[in-house]
Structure 1
């Protein structure tokens, strides 16, 4: 493409949950906006993360339900898995959603620029690779939202076939007979559930003392028990060493203290976290304050360079799409409205394995560590009529509240639809609601959400159904 320069109120680099949301928000405000994306609108989350993985999990859940059809009064024959079709559906879902973002760009008059870009002096954005290579965009303000990529194990060859990251795993066309998943955070746990549910022999390894390390201890323990029952081989406090891929398998050593165990698998999936996409992002003379390889921002999301802002995974944890979207919208409102941007203080975290996990606020172990006086309310889904009727009675709701005033300090759910249920507690914490106010709110019957009300009542020993 020939060189050309276009002027904008805002140029966004990155088209993921932060980037596209920021661009669309500015477009809604009547600003002249461009969004530069090196692959496809929607970024990692929509194309190679959150959305396609949920499509895979939906397939796994349906398959597991069909295997238990007799429990509901239905006789079925043998159910065959067409793994390539399962994966193809996942890709089709991602493609459909990406087209939706591209439509929203047009609707909100956001110029969609394809390619890899860098920030130059004077708030210029130069596209140096891709379809629109050679294009220069001049902007009053620049929002950097380039996100993160999977982190790999140093010294281990990443071939995308035997040694995979999450993106590689989403592109598989054949089901592996066996796999070792390194890292038992949300991504590792979700892939462990998906592949095990379809019949792959799964070994899940975590170097920390428990799977889902950031969750409340009782929640992690509950998922660990469920995974063991499902047939997933979980190893905690364990390191994976001496990884040696061949053309047909991968061998490795699991090390726990002084104990070493040599194992083999058809593939390994590395799910040990992410690292920032900053390579080639800044031109000569552009130097931003950084925290490791993440961009440091002020309260208004502006970086150390005037007119250059950043939001989403590129500015560091918690590396969640919904947090990224919130940050970008806050940043854009701060740029163009008389609005004081809000930094993220509270956010829900969700893991979509079965049983699902969702949480917000402090864990019980954190409250103990900080010596904060608290009370606990718990309610099991075995006491929920709706959960039992739907054969989803695994798990519980756990609510942590201030001992004196009853204000919600943390909420943790493991079980069916936990990721949908958590939002009631998210709103409760946002408006500083008390457990008593949740308890005094009429919840429809029969619903899973009644468990939230009952857990609130359980704080004071007043739950009806336990």
Structure 2
């Protein structure tokens, strides 16, 4: 009979779980991972990766329309939505298989099925062959999250979609309503708007991309409106009336309720942790607002039981989950100097057009925390590489503590900022000051020079602006 006892069982094989399993195995822990659906979780199969593949298609389509600007000719420009979707699914499939290969390579046992905690260090798995009983000294919950359904706004896959439906569209929207302007909502709005859908975005907060710095949100809103989007902040969708080929939305804005018809609605109103059916209450785990309550080291308060990634709360980002997975694996393996993941050190990236990226505190947050601040800006129009790329719309903003020179936050909107932000992330991790950044030599011509100039601008020393 196969040995079913382990040093570590990981429940969920998304970017938190599978990374935790690999690191644990590297550290000599006998590890098993349980997954009910897809290796790689939502991120690889239905989130980060396939959405980026689709957004890349829309970006190329957008550039093809601009061919004349670059001295090129492109006639009869069009797209095949089925082929765009197929490419996205193929990319996801390739990476899904890659995770399976990594499990084998790292000697991690894989069990496909539904897991449930049945006692201290005991896990029961419902597989297609029946129930399997496993045991481990430690268990990591990495079950992730799913789209939130608000009453009356539930996705049905026909005319009202969630992110999964939007990734495998049954039809091309002509008139689209997107409810919610966080990263998921804005990315889909950007994709379908670029392909020609008449797109409206409704956001209950006072601005779109509400977690971003207010200046960046305002800049992004203007760019989206230039592209033909209708943006409705401080608005609520009160009701959706579903017909055979249309949805009538009652939208409350400025105290008035108006009805508008759309052929497609995408609901992107947040996420809910996958906490059900795991036996958490019986195990003594505290769950609040669908998320497992943990300390800074992802400990649940139940001995030997940890929770990482989306199930453990915001920020709901794959790279946060992966980093927590490594931290917990090292904690379990008894490594010294294990540091908790600091939320303000995690970058956020949104892959709309233009891209948005940030790390650390917004200007408002820095002030709220009592910092006296210095703020620098630099526009894309002042950068040679941005002009050469034909991408002069954008901005880099940096926020420093006026007394210590500590980099408190960095915020960007424009071409390729999701790649640029990591420079500031590393800077913050190394506890860099404005002086370090000013004395760093940035290569020319690159977009990264704007990062340098924004720092200089905070201290009245910008050269090209």
TM-score (norm 2): 0.97
| Alignment pair present for 1:381 and 2:410 | no
Is 1:275–2:284 an aligned residue pair?
no
Q: Which residue of 2 aligns with 1:222?
A: 219
Corresponding residue SS for 1:17: coil
Residue number in structure 2 paired with 1:434 = 433
Contact 1:84 1:173 in 2 (8 A): no
- Write the mapping of 1:6-405 to structure 2, written as runs, cut at 5 A: 6-128=4-126, 130-131=127-128, 133-282=130-279, 285-345=282-342, 346-405=345-404
Alignment: residue pair count: 463
Q: Which TM-score applies when normalising by structure 1?
A: 0.97
CA shift for structure 1 position 157: 4.0
Q: CA deviation at 1:173?
A: 4.3
User: Could you tell me whether the CA contact under 8 Å between 1:400 and 1:409 is conserved in 2?
Assistant: yes
Contact residue 5 and residue 136 of structure 1 kept, 8 A: no
Which deviations, in whole Å up to 9, do the C-alpha atoms of 1:36-58 show, x marking residues without a partner?
A: 11111100011000000000100
Contact (CA 8 Å) 1:408, 1:435: kept in 2 or not? yes
Q: Is residue 373–residue 401 contact of structure 2 (8 Å, CA) maintained in 1?
A: yes
The Cα shift of 1:200 comes to 0.9
Q: Which runs of 5+ in 1 are unaligned?
A: none
More displaced 10-residue stretch of structure 1: 236-245 or 256-265: 256-265
- Contact 2:153–2:267 under 8 Å retained in 1: no
Offset at residue 299 of structure 1 (A): 3.8
Conserved? CA contact 1:299–1:341, under 8 Å? no
Partner in structure 1 of residue 456 of structure 2: 457
In structure 2, distance between residues paired with 1:284 and 1:184: 33
CA shift in 2, pair 1:284/1:290, >3 Å? closer
Where structure 2 has 5 or more consecutive residues not aligned to the other structure, the ranges are: none
User: How far off is 1:285 after superposition?
Assistant: 3.4
Could you report, residue by residue, the CA deviation over 1:275-321 in whole angstroms, capped at 9, with x for unpaired residues? 00011011783221223321122343221221111111111111111
Q: 1:281 to 1:437 in 2, by over 3 A?
A: same
Q: CA RMSD in A?
A: 1.5
Aligned to 1:413: 412
* 1:308–1:203 CA distance, 2 compared to 1 (3 A): same
Q: Check conservation: 2:152, 2:240, Cα contact below 8 A.
A: no
Q: Counterparts of 1:216 and 1:177 in 2: how far apart (Å)?
A: 32
Q: Is the contact made by 1:436 and 1:457 (CA closer than 8 Å) also made in structure 2?
A: no
Secondary structure of residue in 1 paired with 2:128: coil
* 1:166-188 per-position Cα deviation (integer Å, ceiling 9, x unaligned): 11211214311121000001111
| Aligned residues of 1:114 and 1:132 also touching (Cα < 8 A) | no
In structure 1, the partner of 2:442 is 443
Q: What is the distance in 2 between the residues matched to 1:234 and 1:162? A: 21
Change (3 A) 1:22 1:165: same
| CA-CA distance at 1:459 after TM superposition | 1.3
Between the aligned partners of 1:93 and 1:123, the Cα distance in structure 2 is 36
